[in-house]
Structure 1
C-alpha cells in the first residue's frame, strides 16, 4: 500500500501542472479578435466542435517520466531528476538524449487512436510534434535529433514520420488537426548555447548581446514551422507552447512566472503566422499565454474557469495525472469527464483531453475504455454539446444550459450519491414558450412541465428514472 501511495505521489509531483502556475487566470478583456475572415470562420467551426484529443509523446516515454522537464536545471518538483544519471546534469542530459537510439514504438497504430477518439465524440486533435527537449516527431531537415534519423531504430519503419501518419489518420476520420510545437528548444545550441550552460528554462544567453546567435534560433524555429505547414497536408491549428519565449513587451508583471523571464525572446510571430497562413489559409494560431493577435483562443491548463467567458477558450487537461506516459496511470472516471465536458461547454469553452502513448506506440487499454464510456453518453446526448451556444444562467447549482437556437438543453449534473434522476426537477427561469415540450434525451416521452414564477417544474416518471439510472449527466430537451 505504501509503495502504491508513493508511486501516486510521485506521479502527482511529476504531473504538477507547471503551466497551471505559468498560465494564470486569463484576462479576457485583453483578447484580440481576429480580423481575417477565414480565421474567423475556422474559429467559429472550432468552437462548434467542443471536444478534442491532445497527445504528448516522445522519447521520454521510455523512462516513464514527465515530458522534457527533468532536463530543466530549475529547483522545482517537476524538474527533479531521478535514476542512475541524476547526480550529474551533463551526464543526465547525455543519457536522456541517447534515448533517441533506442526509441522503437513498433505497436504504433494511429488508426486505432483516431477510431477510439471518434467514437468518444472527439472532433479535433493536437499532436506534439516537438516538446521542449527538442526531439522532433517529424522529418525535419533542421536537425538530426528526430524520430526519422538513422540513429533512431524506428526510422527504418515505413511509418517513421509519425506526425504525418497521425495527422493523416485523424483527417481520414473527419477531424480538425493541429500541431503542438514548442518554441523553446533545449537541444539546439542556438537556444541553450553550450558556451553558457543553462540556469533555467530560458535561453542561456542574452539575445540582445548575441543577436547573430538569436537570429539563428529564430530562423531555425521559423524553418521548422514552415516544414510543418508545407509538408503535412491541411493543418487547422498551430498550437505553440513555451510562453516564456516572447517579446519582453508582452510580459505581464502581475503573473509570477512571467516576472522571472530575464530576456527579450522575440521570434517574430508576425513573420511565422503570415508565412504559415500563406500555406494554410484560415490557420488558427495559438501562441499560448502571449495575449494578442497570435493567441486566437486561450488555454487554461488543468483548470476550468469558474464562470462563463465570452471569448474562445479551451481547457487542456490530462485523462490521468500526467501529460506524458507513466507505467501505471491513474485515469479519472468517464463520469468525471462527461461532467467536465458539460461544465466547460456551458461556459463557452472546449475540452482538450490528453492521452499519452507509451514507448511501444500504444495507449494504456484503460484509456480506450474511458473513451468508449464517454462515447456511450455522447452518442445519446451529443446534440446538447455540438453546435450549441451557452445560455444564461450558464451554470447554476447542478444545472448547465446550452441552446442550438431551436431547443434549450438543461443538463443536470448529479452528485456521486445520485444514481437516478430526481422525480421532480425545478429549473430556473428560461426563455421558453408558455407550454414547452420537454423530454429527457434518450427517451421520447413528453414530460409534465409546469411554468412557475421562478422557472419550470418537471416531473420525471419512474420508468424513465429506472431506464436512465447511473448516467453521468441527464439532459432535458426543451423545445
Structure 2
C-alpha cells in the first residue's frame, strides 16, 4: 500500500507541475529556456561555494560514496569488505544502513558559520546522491531523512542556517544514475536485497517512466519547499528524457520569477544547452580563460568525495592555488567537504577551511567580484587539457612563485597579479605591458602597508621590487596578490 501511495503522490505532483507550467512565461522547450540569463551577476561575483557529500553512504565509511553500488559487485574490494564486516549483501543490503545513520553532532548553524568564515558565498548539501536517499522532507519517496535515519529535515535546516549567514544556497542532484546502472550488481547477483515494494523505490527497480516522473517530482519538491539559488547536476543527466529535463528547467525558472530571484542551473558534459546553464568540470579546470562563466567541483581530499576512515586531505596551498587558477580563467569553485556520518566535520578538514578563510580575508579583493584580465596568467606550470579524464594530473600539479595569475576589477581600473608562491626577488611580469603610468600609479601587496617600488623599461615591461619581509611576517601563505592601480595596461603579445 505504501508503494501505491507514493505512486499516487507522484501522479498528483505531475499534474501540479503541468498546471503550473501552462500559466508561466518559460515554456518547456530550449528556445524559450534560452531567454534565461544562465550566469547572473551575483553568481559571477561569488567565486567560491561549499557543498558536501553526506549521506547513508558515510555510515560504512569505507571506499567512497559509491559504496552502495560497489558492495554488490562480486570481487570488488568494497564487496569483499562488506562480506567480511556485515555479511552477505543479499541479506544485509544497503537499506540496512539507513537507520544506522544518526546525526547527533550535526549543527546546521555552526556549519553555516564555518562556511561563511571560509569565504564561501553559497553553500548546501548533496540533496540526493546516486543511492536514492533524499535529505529533505519528501512525499515522492519514503527514503528520506525525515521518515528514516536521522529523522531530520537536513536540507531544510541547512537552507535556513546558510541564508541566516547571508549566503546563497545550492542543492546538488546526482539521482539520475539511481536508475541507470547503479544497482546492476544487486539485480544480477544479490536480488534478495530488494525485499519489498519499498526497497524497490530505493533501488529504483521500477519502470523507466515511473522513475523519470519521480526524478522530476523530487526536484519540484526541493524547488517548492526550499527555493535553492543554484541547482547543480552530476553526470548521467543525459539519460533522463529531454522532455523531463525541459519540464524541470521551466518549472524552476518560473518559480524563481515568483521569488523575484536570479537562479543558476549547473550541469556537466553537454546535458543541457549552455545558453541556459553553466558548465561544470569535475576535479579539473579550463586550460585558459573561457568566454562563458564555468564551474569546477573539486574535493578537499585526494580521493573519496564522502568521509571514509582512511580519507587523506589536501594541503591548503593546493586548494588556494586551484581557486586562483579557476578565478583567473572566469571560473567558480564548488569545494566539497566530507562530514562524518554523525555530523562532525573532522579537524583536518576544518583546518584547511580555516586557512582558506584566512587567505581570503587578505586576498578577497583580488578574487570576489573580479573578472578575467586580458591574459589569464604565465609561468612554467601548465594545466592539462581533457577535463575529468586528466583529473589525476591536476591533482599532481605543484605551482611556484614563477606562476602568476591575473584578475581585474569590473571597471578595469585595477589589475591584480597573484603569484602562487612568495617571490624571493623582484618580479618581472611577463604578460603585462605598461602603455602609460599616471601620477597616481602604484603597486601594493595586499595585506602589507604602503606601496612597492617598481620599474618600467623601454618596452613597457613592469618589474616589481619585493619588500623586505621576514617569513613569519608575510601577509598570508600560499599565494600573494599585487594590486596595480593608475596604469594603462595591455597584455604582452
Give the TM-score range, shorter chain: 0.7 to 0.9
Shift of 1:87: 11
Consecutive unaligned residues of structure 1, counting only runs of 5 or more, are 1-30, 200-211, 248-264, 415-419
Give the corresponding residue for 1:224. Answer: 218
Give the corresponding residue for 1:18. Answer: none
Q: Structure 2 length as normaliser, TM-score?
A: 0.74
1:290 to 238, 262, 270: 270
Distance, in Å, in 1 between the alignment partners of 2:449 and 2:325 is 25
- Write 1 or 2 for the structure with the bigger share of strand: 2
Is the aligned partner of 1:370 residue 2:352? yes
Kept in 2: contact 1:395–1:401 (CA 8 A) = yes
Distance, in Å, in 2 between the alignment partners of 1:85 and 1:59 is 18
Tell me: CA distance 1:344–1:60, structure 2 relative to 1, closer, same or farther (3 Å).
same
Kept in 2: contact 1:246–1:267 (CA 8 A) = no
Distance, in Å, in 1 between the alignment partners of 2:346 and 2:435 is 45
Residue range with higher mean Cα deviation, 453-462 or 313-322:
453-462
Give the corresponding residue for 2:58. Answer: 61
Tell me: CA distance 1:410–1:189, structure 2 relative to 1, closer, same or farther (3 Å).
closer
Distance, in Å, in 2 between the alignment partners of 1:195 and 1:175 is 40
Distance, in Å, in 2 between the alignment partners of 1:470 and 1:77 is 48
Shift of 1:278: 2.1
Tell me: CA distance 1:179–1:460, structure 2 relative to 1, closer, same or farther (3 Å).
same
Tell me: CA distance 1:74–1:81, structure 2 relative to 1, closer, same or farther (3 Å).
closer
Distance, in Å, in 2 between the alignment partners of 1:238 and 1:350 is 15
1:472 to 478, 488, 491: 478
Give the corresponding residue for 2:405. Answer: 400
Give the corresponding residue for 1:161. Answer: 153
Give the corresponding residue for 1:246. Answer: 239
Shift of 1:365: 1.4
Aligned pairs for 1:117-196 within 5 A: 117-149=115-147, 151-152=148-149, 154-155=150-151, 160-184=152-176, 186=178
Distance, in Å, in 1 between the alignment partners of 2:444 and 2:75 is 50
Give the corresponding residue for 1:46. Answer: 43
- Give the alignment's Cα RMSD to 1 decimal: 3.3
Distance, in Å, in 2 between the alignment partners of 1:74 and 1:409 is 51
SS of corresponding position for 2:301: coil
Kept in 1: contact 2:52–2:126 (CA 8 A) = yes
Distance, in Å, in 1 between the alignment partners of 2:215 and 2:465 is 60
Distance, in Å, in 2 between the alignment partners of 1:425 and 1:443 is 16
Distance, in Å, in 2 between the alignment partners of 1:409 and 1:34 is 36
Tell me: CA distance 1:79–1:35, structure 2 relative to 1, closer, same or farther (3 Å).
farther
Shift of 1:44: 2.9
Shift of 1:79: 8.1
Kept in 2: contact 1:170–1:177 (CA 8 A) = yes
Give the corresponding residue for 1:261. Answer: none
Give the corresponding residue for 2:230. Answer: 237
2:465 to 459, 466, 472: 459
Give the corresponding residue for 1:383. Answer: 365
Shift of 1:99: 0.8
SS of corresponding position for 1:462: coil
SS of corresponding position for 1:91: coil
Give the corresponding residue for 2:108. Answer: 110
Give the corresponding residue for 1:426. Answer: 428
